[in-house]
Copies of this chain bind each other. A is one copy, B any other.
Amino acid sequence: MINVGIVGATGYGGRELLRLLCAHPQARITAAASTSVSGDPLAEELPAFKGLIDLEFETFDADSLAKRCDVVFVAVPGKASMAPVAALHEAGARVIDIGPDFRLRDLSLFERYYGVSHTAPELVEKAVYGFPAWYRESIAEADIIAVPGCYPASILTPLRPLVDAPVSSVPLVVDSVSGISGAGKSPSQAFHFPEMNENLKAYKIGNHQHIPEVEQELLNRFMVQFTPHVGPLTRGILTTITLRPKTLFDPAPFYNCYEKEPFIRVLGEGKLPDINQVRASNFCDFGWVCDKRTGNIILVSAIDNLLGGTAGMAVQCMNIRFGLEETAGLKWAGMTP
């Protein structure tokens, strides 16, 4: 049994970690830290866990967590995990961070997109990008794992294998639609139910903080024109990527590398995913169309944003890190309906 702690357990990412870990056959939730509700029974704050988790929220204490937990998940908002990750690492804990603070290697990009200086630059180098398909071996030995963002997970899964493909230098066009859980639990006018129901909109065009993360993991081979959207659904990201080959090529062979990936499903040419098939699962499904008329390739991928690129991928990283069966606690099909 792996003893796990979760920091920031009341947010949407943290709740999903609780949900996955409380049914995980080899994990025991030992500690849940949330300063705002510290001292309160977890099941009172989060009644979905009544009868399942019998813990009180505790104040963040790196030493105590490091002592009691084999691994600590950090699920706090962007820019807020630098400090606790550093403290936990210092205290000797293994850390899996689902936030963005340890993903960007180039700290000047971190500053530009997040608006603050990084307070633990030396740890950025130590952190491993928690994308199992490409970093499985490093993850297995990492002390700090930085789980990819949700948009990046949906974009990189179909794109990364194409870094060596004959693609033109025109920026790739990436249009994603995300469910609203991606914006977190804090209420706002924009995400008040009557404002988002029957609504859809684009936002942060050209300056979303996930752009440098995506380009970094594409090895800076491609420039990405990223337009995120939110729509009237809670979970899920559908990403549509239009890329311009130098000459039209068949992308299928590039995806052979995914043959044994337990949570990546390559649907193939002419087969398009939908969110329905991956909701509440750790899968990323994708397919594509080669458009002979235009000479373009259009890739479409689907994930559940709270699992892929968040809690599910984090648990997969934990499984790898601790030598468990990689799919332990994650063998869930998409919820249809």
Interface set of A (CB-CB < 8 Å, partner B): 12, 15, 18-19, 22-23, 25, 46-53, 170-171, 173, 175, 177, 179-181, 185-189, 191-203, 205-206, 223, 225, 227, 229, 231-236, 238, 240, 242, 244, 262-263, 265, 267, 272-281, 283, 285, 289, 291, 293-296, 298, 300, 302, 306, 331-337
New A-B pairs, 5, CB < 8 Å, besides A48-B276, A185-B194, A231-B232: A175-B175, A177-B177, A177-B229, A194-B234, A199-B279
Contact status A229-B225, CB under 8 Å: no
With A46-B336, A205-B291, A294-B223: A331-B22 Cβ-Cβ less than 8 Å: yes
Q: Which residues of B contact A276 (CB under 8 A)?
A: 48, 195, 198-199, 201
Contact status B336-A15, CB under 8 Å: yes
Chain A to chain B contacts (Cβ below 8 Å), 9 pairs = A19-B332, A48-B334, A49-B333, A171-B296, A185-B189, A191-B194, A195-B276, A198-B276, A199-B236
Contact status A240-B185, CB under 8 Å: no
Q: Which residues of B contact A53 (CB under 8 A)?
A: 333
Identical chains bound together, number: 4
Q: Which 9 pairs across A and B sit closest by C-beta, in order of nearness? A: A194-B337, A201-B274, A206-B291, A48-B334, A175-B175, A187-B187, A205-B289, A187-B192, A173-B173
Q: Which residues of B contact A296 (CB under 8 A)?
A: 171, 206, 225
Residue of B nearest to A170 (CB): B170
Residue of B nearest to A237 (CB): B200
With A48-B336, A206-B298, A332-B23: A194-B181 Cβ-Cβ less than 8 Å: yes
Task: Tell me the complex Cα distance, A272–B206, Å.
Answer: 13
Task: Tell me the complex Cα distance, A177–B173, Å.
Answer: 16
Task: Tell me the complex Cα distance, A179–B231, Å.
Answer: 11
Task: Tell me the complex Cα distance, A185–B84, Å.
Answer: 36
Contact status B337-A197, CB under 8 Å: yes
